[in-house]
Structure 1
């Protein structure tokens, strides 16, 4: 399923006039504008935000300790390529986490610090569109529903987003393989998220290999958004780089990682990209133009966090507790089962937009309508929107708060 060309698509024309239509949280704000929240299940009746994946766990003590150990390094501009220690920490973590073959990555050339994976994903689109322009590569493949930065970066680059449904019948993973060759041959970059946002679906190693083969055969960039890679319920999810065949196999491949979820450090704004050295250089160049870099003390703290696994084990246990609670309370009402990864509940409620308004006005619960994660043509049938029947619920609050919110959601369902 593909939209018309950018010149004729009403959705694209509207997006260029008003970029907010691809921004789900701006859409949610408009939906609830003027609506008073009902009394939430908290003792004081204050609203509970379940709409955004904002970790509520305290950051590891290691973070503050390491920042405090480098008080004199805030005065200098940070090195855009990061420090050798930071790159080595990321390199070593990748090898531990994914059991990479020796020589798969060169820490000096193929790893770049990012002020969060979101920023890197954005600049990767600019890089890919810039690189592919001479070949007429103007398309960006995006899962629908999906993270809004994918569509936003396509819009900023003047590219044409191609939204590919990710539904229950294909395990909530986009079927890019079924797209016509003429679309794939004009694609500059494709995005995959595993564990996926919002459904928590996980790609197998075989699926990654199939996507790699598809991307390299048609000459487009494969960008793996793996910011939830360490938040899983049972088995560690496979990753893009572990599916690489040999040291030369990273051509056209980029893997993005972040400390936001792994270390409950969303405010730190720290992540990295690893993969194709030429693409990493391109992202580096655009980040220098945009002034997006990671301060040196944060590089030190980030390196320490990538080397520590104890706090990540505790984080996984925390989210598993919340998911078990959610499954117990919601399965009978929705058939919802615990996902393989991430920390969202993707709940089928009939009309997600109407339910989100009710949840706010009746129960003081702020949830995200699934259709807001799936851009659509004006006047289109909502039934064609893969996210229309769903809401996304972020399971991030402490168990006592989460339990009260889930009980109220179950009552409404």
Structure 2
């Protein structure tokens, strides 16, 4: 048995299940789940149609590199979305079965397991896949706190030069989960300088990039930042994106990686052995999704309306505000986050995720402690009712 499996911690939702195991919610109130970030808006009909039309491809083994038409659709979307020259569809783009599996597998490609002192840096709070990927690749995760006093920026000063010299891979998440923080061009300039100095690879998780609130202010992406800073070769940078949130198709498991062609080539080699080719029908549906923006604009409108209604209600009672992007509210609690979540479920049948479950203790603190993550993924009426219940609960504390 791989001994590194014993290093893995329970997933946040397993911790939540255990936390709530003895809770019986009050009778008479419908359950409202604001704990898990699973998109619940309707999947566009044209994507379902394209999926069914792609079933004829099931008689053939799919290529790990994906259909040329899919890679071209992704490359063209990157060019349109970020206003840059489209990356080369043959060498700088690779379809993946959702960003989650790619974020994990990428570490297995990058990390030199022969170095016992190898580090993987990631934000804190963070997406737990980063930690698991590091541990199972033979590296040690090291955490960069993102705190409200610092505008939820990465604390890059937390690591010494010697520690940065041991970092082989840095995960960033922009827009961030759970804070919604978007990295600025100055942030990217600093990250690229560190990467140049120490030689580590940057994995930019951008799966929330298409959920934002002002059509005139799109979140900056990693490839876009690199292009603006004269790094058109995307050296030591790979971005990860997905259709799950953008197009409301989490069950399709469809995304892509794009960036440094040398890294993409090695990742393709790894995936060829890993058996990670995308289902042909999913590829056909993905082409249709990447080629259409109208449904994405409508999706953002729904989120914008929900946040406009819900944020003021919760902000009257908890320290929170509209995030830069994404579909979470990150709210500070007046009592322990776990106790807040338990009593909210018991008294009002609303589930939220304790922030401490999304973080690890670093520099003597857990930066998720006394925060909750509220996922506004349900329909507007349900989110609004959930917000009202949270506000009423807070008034009684």
Quickly name the TM-score band, shorter chain normalised: over 0.9
1:239 Cα deviation after fit: 0.8
1:116 aligns with 2:98: yes
Residue matched to 2:387: 406
Residue matched to 1:238: 220
1:301 Cα deviation after fit: 1.0
Q: C-alpha offsets along residues 59-96 of structure 1, whole Å, 9 cap, x if unaligned?
A: 11111111122221123222100111101111011111
Residue matched to 1:160: 140
What SS does the corresponding residue of 1:359 show, helix, strand or coil?
A: helix
1:146 aligns with 2:135: no
Contact 2:206–2:240 (CA under 8 A) maintained in structure 1: yes
Residue matched to 2:315: 331
Q: C-alpha offsets along residues 311-346 of structure 1, whole Å, 9 cap, x if unaligned?
A: 000011111111111222112212421111000011
Give the Cα separation in 2 of the matches to 1:410 and 1:28.
Answer: 21
1:145 Cα deviation after fit: 0.3
- Choose which of 362, 366, 387 in structure 1 pairs with 2:351: 366
Deviating 4+ runs (over 3 angstroms)? 133-137, 245-249
- Choose which of 264, 267, 292 in structure 2 pairs with 1:283: 267
Residue matched to 1:3: none
What SS does the corresponding residue of 2:256 show, helix, strand or coil?
A: strand
Name stretches of at least 5 consecutive residues in structure 2 with no aligned partner: none
1:223 aligns with 2:196: no
Shift of the 405–248 alpha-carbon distance from structure 1 to 2, 3 Å rule, reads: closer
Contact 1:154–1:160 (CA under 8 A) maintained in structure 2: yes
Residue matched to 1:209: 189
Give the Cα separation in 1 of the matches to 2:165 and 2:237.
Answer: 16
Contact 2:51–2:282 (CA under 8 A) maintained in structure 1: yes
1:292 Cα deviation after fit: 2.2
Residue matched to 2:178: 198
Shift of the 273–215 alpha-carbon distance from structure 1 to 2, 3 Å rule, reads: same
Residue matched to 1:10: none
1:134 Cα deviation after fit: 5.6
Contact 2:57–2:281 (CA under 8 A) maintained in structure 1: yes
1:247 Cα deviation after fit: 6.1
Residue matched to 1:80: 64
What SS does the corresponding residue of 2:313 show, helix, strand or coil?
A: helix
- Choose which of 227, 244, 250 in structure 2 pairs with 1:266: 250
What SS does the corresponding residue of 1:237 show, helix, strand or coil?
A: coil
What SS does the corresponding residue of 1:333 show, helix, strand or coil?
A: coil
Give the Cα separation in 1 of the matches to 2:293 and 2:18.
Answer: 41
- Choose which of 233, 244, 251 in structure 1 pairs with 2:235: 251
- Choose which of 8, 14, 18 in structure 2 pairs with 1:19: 8
- Choose which of 348, 357, 360 in structure 2 pairs with 1:375: 360
1:19 Cα deviation after fit: 2.2
Shift of the 412–160 alpha-carbon distance from structure 1 to 2, 3 Å rule, reads: same
Shift of the 294–181 alpha-carbon distance from structure 1 to 2, 3 Å rule, reads: same
Structural RMSD (CA) = 1.9
Give the Cα separation in 1 of the matches to 2:271 and 2:263.
Answer: 12
Contact 1:216–1:251 (CA under 8 A) maintained in structure 2: no
